[in-house]
């Protein structure tokens, strides 16, 4: 195995899980998230990465862009249309389930937020990025990150019961 292959394996091992979670929170689809991460690493191999910031922020930015491209694509819109038709059946089955894991409930609440707020909650709480890293990744000012994060928490809090909100704040 060459030195370059070892370095690429290390980069993949180091960042793949984080990028997969990030793509999933945008797409809400595991298979699409896997495809996006795969495309990001292929594009990374072809790109001439110049170290301007952290590699994590660079790969995160690529993943966010690919995820947003996916959300604009015809393939995604077809899936959404199909899901609307089958949602009534799924809703009946879902109503029968009474016990849901707290993390699942938190995740569902987060997925109800708009993309603008969802990405901040995910990057801050789940990816454990600092305000500065988020600002760099999303290419927005730090004060904008702080404001949007505060607004995201305000919108998320009514969606969660008190116990679940405490779990999120403690993470």
Spatial distance between the Cα atoms of 99 and 29, rounded to a whole number of angstroms: 23
Q: So what's the pLDDT on residue 64?
A: 92
Any idea what DSSP says for residue 26? Answer: H
Residue pLDDT, tens place only, 77-124: 666 656 655 665 555 555 544 444 556 777 778 888 888 898 898 888
Q: Do 105 and 163 lie in a common domain? A: yes
pLDDT band at residue 170 under the 50/70/90 scheme: very low
Q: Specify whether the CB–CB gap between 67 and 23 falls below 8 A.
A: yes
Residue pLDDT, tens place only, 119-162: 898 888 888 889 999 999 899 999 999 999 999 988 888 887 66
Instruction: Using the structure block, give the residue that is written with the tokens 């690429």.
Output: 8
Mean pLDDT of 33-38: 93
Least confident of 4-13, 55-64, 115-124: 4-13
Q: So what's the pLDDT on residue 39?
A: 92
Last residue of a domain, one of 32, 56, 72: 72
Q: Extract the tokens encoding 92.
A: 């009946």
The verdict on residue 104 lying in a domain is yes
Q: In terms of residue numbers, what domain contains 16?
A: 3-72
Q: Is the pTM of this model over 0.75?
A: no
The verdict on residue 91 lying in a domain is no
Spatial distance between the Cα atoms of 16 and 12, rounded to a whole number of angstroms: 5
Q: Select the more confidently predicted residue: 161 or 60.
A: 60
> Is 48 a residue whose pLDDT tops 50?
yes
CB atoms within 10 A of CB 169: 10
The verdict on residue 84 lying in a domain is no
**Per the structure, how many domains does the chain have?**
2
């Amino acid at each position: 195995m060459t030195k370059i292959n070892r370095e690429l394996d290390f980069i993949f091992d180091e960042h793949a899980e984080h990028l997969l979670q990030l793509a999933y929170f945008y797409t809400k689809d595991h298979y699409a998230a896997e495809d996006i991460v795969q495309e990001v690493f292929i594009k990374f191999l072809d790109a001439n990465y110049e170290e301007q910031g952290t590699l994590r922020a660079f790969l995160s930015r690529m993943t966010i862009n690919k995820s947003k491209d996916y959300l604009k694509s015809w393939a995604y819109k077809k899936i959404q249309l199909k899901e609307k038709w089958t949602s009534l059946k799924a809703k009946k089955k879902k109503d029968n389930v009474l016990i849901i894991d707290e993390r699942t409930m938190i995740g569902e609440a987060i997925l109800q937020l708009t993309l603008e707020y969802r990405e901040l909650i995910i990057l801050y709480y789940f990816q454990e990025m600092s305000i500065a890293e988020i600002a760099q990744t999303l290419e927005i000012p730090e004060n904008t990150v702080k404001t949007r994060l505060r607004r995201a928490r305000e919108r998320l809090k009514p969606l969660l019961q008190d116990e679940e909100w405490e779990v999120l704040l403690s993470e």
